[in-house]
Structure 1
Amino acid sequence: MIRLAVRVRRKDADVVLAELLTLAPSGVEEADLEGGAIVEYAVYGAPGELPDLPDVEAAVGGALVEVRTTEVADDWADRWRQFHRPIEVGGRLYVRPPWEPARDELMDLVIDPGQAFGTGAHHTTRLCLELLVEEPLAGDAGARGVMDLGCGSGVLAIAAAKLGWSPVAGVDHELESVRATAENAAANGVEVATDRFDLIRGGAAPTAPLVLANLLRPLLLCVARAGWAGEPPRTLIASGLLVHEADEVAAAFARHGLAEADRRTSAEWAALLLRRPA
């Protein structure tokens, strides 16, 4: 097994991650170095399975600090499992990989981290889940629809379905993510409609009364510029943001009548809860 690691400056991390995920859509491992000034993204694979180094260097561009490839020890599979730990959210939801046991007192959500990026443990996903768990279920059944923009492995969409929201749908540019969301939804016994959609080139974004958008800043700003293919959401939970980017994104969606109702932070990341006035 080979580990390909790319180190970039923190200020360039969000753009670099978006580019790397086009080369390695099955996901990347993220770690902070040098007190958070440098971010390391790593992908794993057998020889010949990893992206070509010239492609990686071109994607990272001027943000590149270092690219390193190393052989991974034979116990990599066990250490990889230790990296993906279960999380508890809001005293209600338990997100776990399939090899961890369920907890009877919590709502169970099982995600295979080998399928697509996003298992719930990253700060941005966890912040979205915290806001989602606290969101009261709409009294009007017609206002319980959910759209997950950039669904990844389906964590947010599946959580919404388990919490009683319906109908739930998710879109992603990557076909592998669309498939993973559908498979994970089926494994969790919930219905999530999935489809491919390019948030950069696809025009107005699909919408629902509740929209979940765990995206990087450039994609969130694309959505805000393109607007919605229908009535704007009543509530938008947006994350994938560094703390210093939150004001800009909140202002962009304010032009659609969505006002900031809550803001959460964890480490250097932030999530926004935005609402349209009743």
Structure 2
Amino acid sequence: MRVRREDADVVLAELLELAPGGVEEADVGGDVVEYAVYGAPGELPDLPAVHAAAGGALVEVVTTEVADDWADRWRQFHRPIAIGDRLYVRPPWEPAHATLLDLVIDPGQAFGTGAHHTTRLCLELLAEREPDGAVMDLGCGSGVLAIAAAKLGWGPVAGVDHELESVRATAENAQANEVEVAASRFDLIRGGPAPTAPLVLANLLRPLLLCVARAGFDGEPPQLLIASGLLSHEADEVAAAFAPHGLQETDRRQSAEWSALALRRPV
């Protein structure tokens, strides 16, 4: 599925409702973003080349048959990444780093392996801060951010996600990394005020971040909120939405067209 870059976040939100296990994103150049969803014969509709609407955006849809060696070839897209001089995020088939903190994420379980711009930006902002108390990961996905926080010395660490598969993946990945993360289901759209902690991690799309800002927090607002999942032109709007909770922007990072914010509540 190919869509104009300006509509990419809307289409991705729609796709994740249909494919909670995640989608593959590719930057094909220009003003276009490509998303791929994989499935066995019979799992996906056998569509000709069509144009469809997703959340009001026009999407070009093409169905192709993947070669029989896909089970080996897909691994080349999941490579280890180093986050500063502290973290090393890798899939299970890659060896550990000699000196960096090792974080193993199975990309076959749920959305979020650490490679996407938004996740990397969150990890960078997290790794630069000294651990200081409890953490809540809103929309934990595969658990990469929560597990990284636990590895870095934060605690206790918890995460919530609307998708049961993500809750399971977070728990399994935490166990594989020998850290404790309390993962549970929570609907950020309909569940009311969001769970909170001194540090809240929120790698979410703009509509969900604005929903959290409107609903507020179930308790004291966080001392620090690291928010990502934002296209760069959306960052100012999201920062302003959290201002009524006493959270002020102290840092902003950008990678490609994506941004992440560090919002802190004055002591």
Q: 2:118 aligns with which of 124, 140, 146?
A: 124
Comparing 16-25 and 231-240, the one that deviates more: 16-25
TM-score by length of 1: 0.92
Change (3 A) 1:57 1:199: farther
Matched residue of 1:71: which SS?
Answer: coil
Deviation per residue, 1:144-166 (Å, 9 max, x gap): 10000000000000000011111
**In the alignment, what sits opposite 2:167?**
178
Once residues 105 and 51 of structure 1 are traced to their aligned partners in structure 2, the CA distance between those partners, rounded to angstroms, is 46
Deviation per residue, 1:233-267 (Å, 9 max, x gap): 00000000001000000000111100001000000
Unpaired runs of at least 5, structure 2: none
Shift of 1:18: 1.0
Residue type of the alignment partner of 1:26: G
**In the alignment, what sits opposite 1:3?**
none
Matched residue of 1:198: which SS?
Answer: coil
- Mapped contact 2:51–2:60 kept (Cα < 8 A): no
Matched residue of 2:245: which SS?
Answer: coil
Comparing 154-163 and 39-48, the one that deviates more: 39-48
Kindly report which structure 2 residues correspond to 1:151-166, keeping only aligned pairs within 5 A, or say none: 151-166=140-155
Unpaired runs of at least 5, structure 1: 1-5, 139-143
- Mapped contact 1:20–1:59 kept (Cα < 8 A): no
Residue type of the alignment partner of 1:8: V
Q: 2:213 aligns with which of 220, 224, 239?
A: 224
Residue 148 (1) aligns with residue 143 (2): no
Change (3 A) 1:229 1:58: farther
Once residues 223 and 92 of structure 1 are traced to their aligned partners in structure 2, the CA distance between those partners, rounded to angstroms, is 30
Change (3 A) 1:258 1:123: same
Change (3 A) 1:177 1:210: same
Residue type of the alignment partner of 1:88: A
Q: Larger % of helix: which?
A: 1
Comparing 84-93 and 25-34, the one that deviates more: 25-34
Residue type of the alignment partner of 2:77: F
Q: 2:102 aligns with which of 97, 100, 108?
A: 108
- Mapped contact 1:150–1:173 kept (Cα < 8 A): yes
**In the alignment, what sits opposite 2:84?**
90
**In the alignment, what sits opposite 1:42?**
36
* CA RMSD, 1 decimal: 1.7
Change (3 A) 1:59 1:223: farther
TM-score by length of 2: 0.96
Q: 2:19 aligns with which of 15, 21, 24?
A: 24
Once residues 226 and 52 of structure 2 are traced to their aligned partners in structure 1, the CA distance between those partners, rounded to angstroms, is 33
How many matched pairs? 266
Residue type of the alignment partner of 1:116: A
Once residues 84 and 185 of structure 1 are traced to their aligned partners in structure 2, the CA distance between those partners, rounded to angstroms, is 19
Once residues 184 and 45 of structure 2 are traced to their aligned partners in structure 1, the CA distance between those partners, rounded to angstroms, is 26
- Mapped contact 2:226–2:262 kept (Cα < 8 A): yes
Shift of 1:183: 0.4
Once residues 186 and 81 of structure 2 are traced to their aligned partners in structure 1, the CA distance between those partners, rounded to angstroms, is 29
Residue 268 (1) aligns with residue 263 (2): no
**In the alignment, what sits opposite 2:195?**
206
Once residues 67 and 277 of structure 1 are traced to their aligned partners in structure 2, the CA distance between those partners, rounded to angstroms, is 48
**Identity across aligned pairs (percent)?**
84
Shift of 1:74: 1.9
Matched residue of 2:219: which SS?
Answer: coil
Matched residue of 2:54: which SS?
Answer: helix
- Mapped contact 1:262–1:274 kept (Cα < 8 A): yes
- Mapped contact 1:236–1:273 kept (Cα < 8 A): yes
Once residues 86 and 29 of structure 2 are traced to their aligned partners in structure 1, the CA distance between those partners, rounded to angstroms, is 35
